[in-house]
Structure 1
Amino acid sequence: MKERITKAFLAELEPKDRPYEVHDTEMTGLLVRVQPTGKKSYYFTYRNSQHLRRRIRLGTVENMTPNNARDVAQERYSDIMKGIDVQTQKVLQRKEAEATKNRRLGSFINELYEPWILTHHKYGKGTLSLIRSRFSCFMNTPLEEITIRRIEAWRKDRLGDGIKPTTVNRQVAALRGLLTKAVEWEVIPDHPLQKLKALKTSSTPLVRYLSPGEETRLYRVLEERDTALKEERLRGNEWRKVRGYHLLPDLSKHTYGDRMTPMIILSLKTGLRRGELFALTWHDVNLNKRLLTVRAENAKSSKTRHLPLSETAYNALKAWHKQRDKNNPLVFPSHNGTKLTNVKKSWASILDKAQIPNFRWHDMRHDFASKLVMNGVPLNTVRELCGHADMNTTLRYAHLAPEHKADAIATLG
């Protein structure tokens, strides 16, 4: 359909069931496209240097008059006569804009890195959370502009806030891993932090473990806590009984008031990581052989390891097994039956009552390794029991067994 495009003519155009076009008789290549919704837009059609037909959108009828559209179409025609393929340039500019967007840290994470790390890394969710929270100031920064100078300034601020160098190094390592993938996927040509040196840290980091007094207080508080929980349940059921309510399970015949005591005992006596403990199932526990298995899919090293149960750990698990939820495969499920995510509130309360300062849940793992070394267990055996990926991690406990140095000197006579 051809017609001289005017304001009056455009006003008379009615939408149809399918889109249709009207070509202008005054300006070759100019047309109006009418959508079923009633939206009308100007387009300019042409053939490029390869004689391929192309079209470019000029604007909407409501924002551009016919004369304006002819002027813009004339400019596009002049570009074409000069050998400039307007549409191809527009496509390239769009692709470049999209590429630039993906090169920004936030967009790169959302579009590329997040799907990959969640699929290939067990702790990918935690890594993403760390990067997004600690490097939020860089989210709109192109990846290649996350330079050594900027990260050094960031590290200075973190250290000024009292963050330990080891923690800062670990956070920067997460960002470096992301940038390594960006280079591997050819999003950026070079790694901007390739020559960044890690902050110097102590070669023998302090290891926190329980003193004999702290250990005694901890077990006393756990025992008192279990007794209090059982008594509280009895009083609660008496209250329910009077009012005709459904009674909760009687805890008086059980060893523990809840999961906290057996969880803590098992952590202290096996060195399980928190994630390994939360993922533990009864299928992983062999009470007959007194053996506990950490499956590869739950281990940080992605390697299966088997841990013999000490008398204390065995008795704790045996007692907990008797009062377990028989319909739940998890050894320590949450109150609603799902896998635990944290026990921070209960743990903090226990430490406060036991007067044990500066002791994290993970420090129970340090306590396990430290006590083994202090009891003369070879470091390589400690490494195997803890599931350390390399010996360097285990060597942090070497100073706790100074007698091996004395034995070496003694051989000189």
Structure 2
Amino acid sequence: MKKLVRLRMRPSRDGKSFRYMLDYVDQDGRRHQLSLSHADKRRAERQRYEKELELRMNVAEPISMKLSDFFRDSLVRTKGQVRATSLGETKRSMKDFVDCIGDIDVQEVRYEHGERFIQYCLDRKLSAGTVAKKIKHLKRVFQLAEDRDQLDCHPLRRLKPPKVAKGKIRVFTDQECHNLCRAAQQYEEKGSPVRWELLIRMCLATGMRRGELMNTTWRNIDFANMTVDVSPKKDRIDTWEWHIKDTDRRTLPLTADSVKLLVEHQMSQPEGNPYVFVPVARYDRIQEYRRSREWTVDKGRSPLSKFCDHFNKIRQLAGIEVGTFHDLRRTCLTNWVTQGLSLHEVKELAGHASIETTERFYLAVRKDVVDRARAASEASRKGESVARVLRAPDESDKIEELPRTSAAKTMP
């Protein structure tokens, strides 16, 4: 049981003696430091115990409430502190938990309820990864309740989510990247107001997320230094409020090809639209919406409607069966590591909170690495020099079709 009163020694000014002190917090949240005016340890421990009993007699028991009311209270307390998407996922996890174990008193929640919830989700054919996310959200809610003294203990603290097998990381090959850009040009020629080729090249060069690209303004582009600044936006006349995931502001490199396309795009862009990739018609519509209604961070997540549908059409036009726009980000990060950047450097450039995220979800084993490993195995079997087989390719070995002028450049 957590102690409400702490006993400590306070030395005198001359440092030759000391006296005992009691530190505690009253019911109103005010901190107190009570001097006992003596140095008798046994007497001080008895006084601390007496004060502890006094406080516990006046401390109210943890609030009793239905699980649904408890979850509703938790959402109100955390609103504005986390991203709207995370809050929505937490809300759905809470609803599923109540549907599983019933709307019982929050003080009655036990470890076995967590185990029952896991089985309930698996029986509904939810993937292990989805169940793990739900458990993560629920554990966070109960942890916050314990920190607020709403609960004596965290009932799901030791609950282990189902193990999730690491999925295959999808990255685009150099030829697929080339085909995507060519298909994007054709898609634009059919009347698309979005510069899809530039959008794809920017993602391959910087590894930016879709939301980061769509909320990039011309003020974020530094043409002289060939960089782009990923920064949050405030709710102003010409821009809407937007927050970066993990609040990680960073500066990323641009390739010469990207800068050239950005210059051409800026010259053709009409005045009044500060965003690089938001079409003028869409920008005007959002501005009209902001003037007539409240524009929240949650609503501002998708400056371009049906984004995935447009990209899938480009992917199919490029002759690629599977793949998402986010795979372009994974391709960029994998290329950075292949070209010699350290995992820590890639983690910082990607804006990840931990290096484990970079390793687990973003770094794929490229085909050329698999080919080199195969060659090494063959050389070892034949008794040849593995070092010679794994030597770095010289200038004559480089592919002329896809030259690389920097670690970030992946396209001709």
User: In structure 2, what is the equivalent of residue 51 of structure 1?
Assistant: none
Deviations along 1:142-195, one digit per CA (max 9) or x if unpaired, are 434454333333333444555442332222211211111111122222111101
User: In structure 1, what is the equivalent of residue 115 of structure 2?
Assistant: 152
The answer to whether residue 138 in structure 2 is matched with residue 175 in structure 1 is yes
Aligned partners of 1:313 and 1:110: how far apart in 2? 47
The answer to whether residue 335 in structure 2 is matched with residue 371 in structure 1 is yes
User: In structure 2, what is the equivalent of residue 311 of structure 1?
Assistant: 256
The answer to whether residue 273 in structure 2 is matched with residue 328 in structure 1 is yes
Deviation at 1:275, TM superposition (A): 2.5
TM-score by length of 2: 0.59
**Match for 1:189 among 134, 152, 155?**
152
Q: Residue 321 and residue 107 in structure 1: after superposition, are their counterparts in 2 closer, same or farther (change >3 A)?
A: farther
Deviation at 1:208, TM superposition (A): 1.0
Aligned partners of 2:69 and 2:269: how far apart in 1? 46
Letter in 2 for 1:390: S
RMSD over equivalenced CA pairs, Å: 3.3
Within-5 A mapping of 1:217-236: 217-229=179-191
Aligned partners of 1:328 and 1:109: how far apart in 2? 41
Bigger CA radius of gyration: 1
Q: Residue 196 and residue 340 in structure 1: after superposition, are their counterparts in 2 closer, same or farther (change >3 A)?
A: closer
**Match for 2:91 among 114, 126, 132?**
132
User: In structure 1, what is the equivalent of residue 79 of structure 2?
Assistant: 118
Aligned residues: 282
TM-score by length of 1: 0.59
Letter in 1 for 2:228: L
Which ranges of 4 or more aligned residues in structure 1 deviate by more than 6 Å?
none
Aligned partners of 2:356 and 2:275: how far apart in 1? 33
Deviations along 1:278-331, one digit per CA (max 9) or x if unpaired, are 322222111222111112674323232111101232233223222334212222
**Gaps (5+ residues) in structure 2?**
1-59, 234-242, 287-299, 377-385, 389-412
Aligned residues with identical type, % of pairs: 23
Deviation at 1:210, TM superposition (A): 0.9
User: In structure 1, what is the equivalent of residue 244 of structure 2?
Assistant: 299
User: In structure 1, what is the equivalent of residue 313 of structure 2?
Assistant: 349
Given that residues 188 and 195 in structure 2 are in contact (C-alpha distance below 8 angstroms), is that contact kept between their aligned partners in structure 1? no
**Match for 1:280 among 216, 239, 254?**
216
Deviations along 1:113-135, one digit per CA (max 9) or x if unpaired, are 233323222x1x11221122244
Report which structure shows greater RCO (CA 8 Å, sep ≥6).
2
| Counterpart secondary structure, 2:251 | strand
Aligned partners of 2:198 and 2:357: how far apart in 1? 27
Q: Residue 319 and residue 172 in structure 1: after superposition, are their counterparts in 2 closer, same or farther (change >3 A)?
A: farther
Aligned partners of 1:186 and 1:150: how far apart in 2? 21
Q: Residue 360 and residue 207 in structure 1: after superposition, are their counterparts in 2 closer, same or farther (change >3 A)?
A: same
Given that residues 278 and 340 in structure 1 are in contact (C-alpha distance below 8 angstroms), is that contact kept between their aligned partners in structure 2? no
320-329 vs 221-230, which deviates more? 320-329
User: In structure 2, what is the equivalent of residue 83 of structure 1?
Assistant: none
